[in-house]
């Protein structure tokens, strides 16, 4: 049987998203992805990471400065032999091929990154096209945002979660040190300061607790906590090496103040690491309270580069519950693994939904 040829269109030449790498590495049966000249992979060296971030910020800055409300639409070339175009968080300018798009957040539909109600008509013009077959939302929270702004296309919107490959989980030895772990490339916006402070206090309180911090760690943070020899600092590194840190961790300490999804939660779950986080966009949809972790309510604005004793105290309370209660920790660990192996973040479940979307899109275009 001929495979469905799907052209994967990126808005930028380099993609830094696990969402698409997972699709390419684990495609649905009967589907072949055509990538063209685009590259996929994680930006793991500091120079590339900073450059890519700088370019994205500049694009958004200048489009906002001059109030350029421009739809994030791109023309896919060389798609003659493809059956379908899958737009990675962007819109398609192609009019002769059926296409679907996926979005992590509503703002990705505009180049500026900040869609305004006044600009909805230009984006809606793309979404209402007959050859736009499906709008894939990464979460239910995103689906609601899309439907609220574009009720005209509510029937096209469907949630398909990211799917994380299963991992080989490390078997813990009796009496082994428990490791608290944080990973976030954007240190302050991901809550790195609060996570490090929490680890600092708990590693000093408990003799069998260690801490590991991974990401683009500011020099002032390393200096501030240099006196605590039980904290290990790891800079940016290849994704495969970051996964080794998850494998060795026991509790994932991650406030995550700027995430609209958060692949790190999937990484932690895949290794059976319970999560302690702070509520945010789609957070309680991804981390199930008392099942795969704890989600702390945040009813006020949190300054990311200043210590917030309220948040710190609540995180310590939840982490201590996991430290002291091995049964609870193990139960949550098993729940985490189950979410990846057979739950809503399983590759089998993702592929089932994606395959149906592609098949229906092609059938309806004939």
Tens of pLDDT, residue by residue over 244-254, are 999 999 999 99
Question: Domains in the chain, ordered, with CATH?
Answer: 4-163+346-365 (3.40.50), 178-341 (3.40.50.2000)
Q: What is the mean pLDDT of the chain?
A: 89
Q: Does position 82 have pLDDT exceeding 90, yes or no?
A: yes
CA distance 66 to 362: 40
pLDDT the model gives residue 366: 61
* pLDDT tens readout for residues 29-73: 999 999 865 554 444 445 554 444 555 555 555 555 555 578 899
pLDDT the model gives residue 115: 47
Mean pLDDT of 193-209: 98
pLDDT the model gives residue 16: 59
pLDDT the model gives residue 173: 77
Mean pLDDT of 86-99: 95
Mean pLDDT of 255-280: 96
CA distance 199 to 327: 22
Quickly state the pLDDT bin for 172 (edges 50, 70, 90): confident
* pLDDT tens readout for residues 319-357: 999 999 999 999 999 999 999 999 999 999 999 999 999
Contact 285, 140 (CB under 8 A): yes
Distances (CA, A) of 15 to 120, 122, 153, 209: 26, 25, 27, 37
pLDDT the model gives residue 299: 72
Nearest to 118 by CA among 157, 58, 67: 67
113-136 burial, b if ≥16 CB within 10 A, otherwise e?
bebeeebbebbbebbebebbbbbb
> What values do phi and psi take at 293, rounded to 5?
170, -165
Q: Does position 294 have pLDDT exceeding 60, yes or no?
A: yes
Return the structure tokens found at 78.
């060389």
pLDDT the model gives residue 189: 95
pTM of the complete model: 0.89
Contact 108, 89 (CB under 8 A): yes
Mean pLDDT of 73-83: 93
CA distance 146 to 153: 9
CB atoms under 10 Å from CB of 260, counted, come to: 20
Mean pLDDT of 298-324: 93
3-state secondary structure the chain: CCCEEEEEECCCCEECCHHHHHHHHCCCCCEEEECCCCEECCCCCHHHHHHHHHHHHHHHHHHHHCCCCCECEECCCCCCCCCEEEEECCEECCCCCCEEEEECCHHHHECCCCCCHHHHHHHHHHHCCCCEEEEEECCHHHHHHHHHHCHHHHHHEEECCCCCCCCCCCCCCCCCCEEEEEEEEECCCCCHHHHHHHHHHHHHHCCCEEEEEEEECCHHHHHHCCCCCCEEEECCCCHHHHHHHHHCCCEEECCCCCCCCCHHHHHHHHCCCCEEEECCCCHHHHCCECCCEEEECCCCCCCCCCCCHHHHHHHHHHHHHHHHCHHHHHHHHHHHHHHHHCCCCCHHHHHHHHHHHHHHHHHHHC
pLDDT the model gives residue 13: 47
pLDDT the model gives residue 135: 98
Lowest mean pLDDT of 18-27, 108-117, 180-189, name the range: 108-117
pLDDT the model gives residue 287: 98
Q: Does position 8 have pLDDT exceeding 90, yes or no?
A: yes
């Amino acid at each position: 049987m001929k495979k469905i040829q799907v052209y994967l269109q990126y808005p930028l030449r380099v993609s830094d998203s696990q969402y698409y790498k997972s699709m390419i590495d684990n495609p649905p049966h009967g589907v072949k992805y055509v990538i063209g000249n685009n590259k996929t992979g994680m930006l793991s060296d500091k120079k590339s990471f900073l450059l890519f971030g700088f370019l994205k910020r500049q694009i958004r800055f200048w489009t906002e400065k001059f109030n350029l409300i421009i739809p994030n639409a791109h023309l896919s070339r060389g798609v003659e032999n493809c059956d379908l175009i899958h737009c990675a968080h962007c819109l398609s300018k192609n009019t002769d091929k059926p296409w679907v798009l996926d979005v992590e957040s509503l703002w990705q539909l505009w180049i500026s990154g900040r869609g305004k109600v006044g600009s909805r008509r230009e984006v809606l013009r793309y979404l209402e096209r007959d050859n736009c077959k499906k709008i894939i939302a990464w979460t239910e929270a995103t689906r609601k945002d899309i439907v609220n702004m574009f009720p005209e296309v509510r029937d096209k919107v469907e949630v398909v979660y990211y799917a994380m490959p299963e991992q080989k989980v490390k078997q813990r030895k009796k009496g082994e040190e428990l490791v608290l772990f944080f990973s976030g490339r954007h240190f302050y916006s991901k809550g790195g300061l609060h996570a490090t402070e929490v680890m600092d206090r708990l590693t000093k309180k408990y003799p069998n607790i260690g801490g590991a911090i991974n990401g683009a760690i500011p020099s002032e943070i390393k200096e501030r906590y240099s006196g605590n020899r039980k904290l290990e600092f790891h800079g940016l590194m290849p994704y495969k090496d970051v996964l080794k840190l998850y494998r060795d961790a026991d509790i994932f300490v991650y406030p995550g103040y700027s995430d609209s999804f958060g692949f790190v939660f999937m990484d932690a779950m895949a290794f059976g690491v319970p999560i302690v986080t702070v509520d945010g966009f789609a957070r309680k949809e991804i981390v199930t309270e008392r099942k795969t972790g704890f989600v702390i309510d945040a009813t006020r604005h949190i300054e990311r580069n200043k210590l917030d004793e309220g948040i710190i105290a609540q995180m310590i309370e939840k982490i201590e519950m996991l430290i002291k209660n091995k049964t609870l920790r193990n139960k949550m660990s098993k729940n985490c693994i189950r979410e990846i192996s057979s739950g809503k973040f399983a590759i089998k479940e993702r592929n089932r939904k994606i395959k149906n979307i592609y098949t229906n899109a092609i059938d309806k275009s004939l």
